[in-house]
Amino acid sequence: MNILDKIVLDKRKEVNLKKLIIPTSQLEASALFERPTNSLAKALQHSDTGIIAEHKRRSPSKAVINQNLNVQDVATGYENAGVCGMSVLTDGKYFGGSMDDLLLARASVNMPLLRKEFIIDEYQILEAKSYGADVILLIAAILSRDEIKAFSEFAKNLNLNVLLEVHNEEELHKSIMPSLDMLGVNNRNLKTFEVSLETSKVLSTIIPDDFVKVSESGISSIDAIQELKNYGYKGFLIGENFMKTENPGNSAQQFINSLKRA
């Protein structure tokens, strides 16, 4: 069993327990549930930098990245830096995140927020909406085509953007459908944790132009972004590169300034 299998197994238990504690009617009654959402896809299309900055405390591949920062400061710093949106990891066991992180980020900023989570149930999509997310992530490696279709259409009915993440050509072919806004290519091999930007380059040629292309993982340099832009990418998810510093907002600001000058 690889790490992704373990995460999904634990996630099913977690979601089943949450359903017993907080009914969907309670989620739908949230003050944030009727909030108009912000489109990350549109923000990326109209941006010359395309940075999606991440809040991530730790990960299975890197252990602790940064446990000392509060999410409000990180969110505010990112927004002031001019990022297009922020990804908030809400998985607790493997990434040290929580739904409160999403809630606190929403209370601090107006930019689009992506709930970065291992979604295996519609309940989590309602949860994302009720805690202030604008975008959900669907991971092709853990979902069937029917699940991707059902979850993405469910999200669209809630006016949420959908970012679908793939790791290879097989996942991409099963995933392409009109209910997605963005197609993300994760450059990290989830079985070995090795990272290669070649994954984004190779898959770019078979992603239809209808979708906003996003490259994820292993992006730490201006050169990498400029290179990927040549392959049609409009979005670049950067987490660890900013989060491993004492002030992620300042790091993002310096990075974006350098990118604009390049």
User: Beta 233-238 vs 212-216: how paired, if at all?
Assistant: parallel
d(CA 194, CA 180): 27
DSSP string, 240-252: HHHHTSS-HHHHH
Told to judge if 34 belongs to the known catalytic residues of this protein, a careful annotator would answer no
Told to judge if 56 belongs to the known catalytic residues of this protein, a careful annotator would answer yes
Phi, psi of 128 (to 5 degrees): -60, -45
> Coil, strand, or helix at residue 90?
coil
In the set 54, 117, 171, 240, the catalytic residue is 54
Told to judge if 127 belongs to the known catalytic residues of this protein, a careful annotator would answer no
In the set 59, 216, 234, 251, the catalytic residue is 216
Helices (H), 158-204: 169-175, 198-204
In the set 187, 217, 234, 251, the catalytic residue is 217
In the set 59, 66, 79, 116, the catalytic residue is 116
In the set 165, 175, 213, 240, the catalytic residue is 165
User: Beta 85-89 vs 51-55: how paired, if at all?
Assistant: parallel
In the set 186, 200, 215, 251, the catalytic residue is 186
In the set 11, 56, 129, 213, the catalytic residue is 56
Told to judge if 216 belongs to the known catalytic residues of this protein, a careful annotator would answer yes
Told to judge if 186 belongs to the known catalytic residues of this protein, a careful annotator would answer yes
Please identify every residue annotated as catalytic. Answer: 54, 56, 116, 165, 186, 216-217
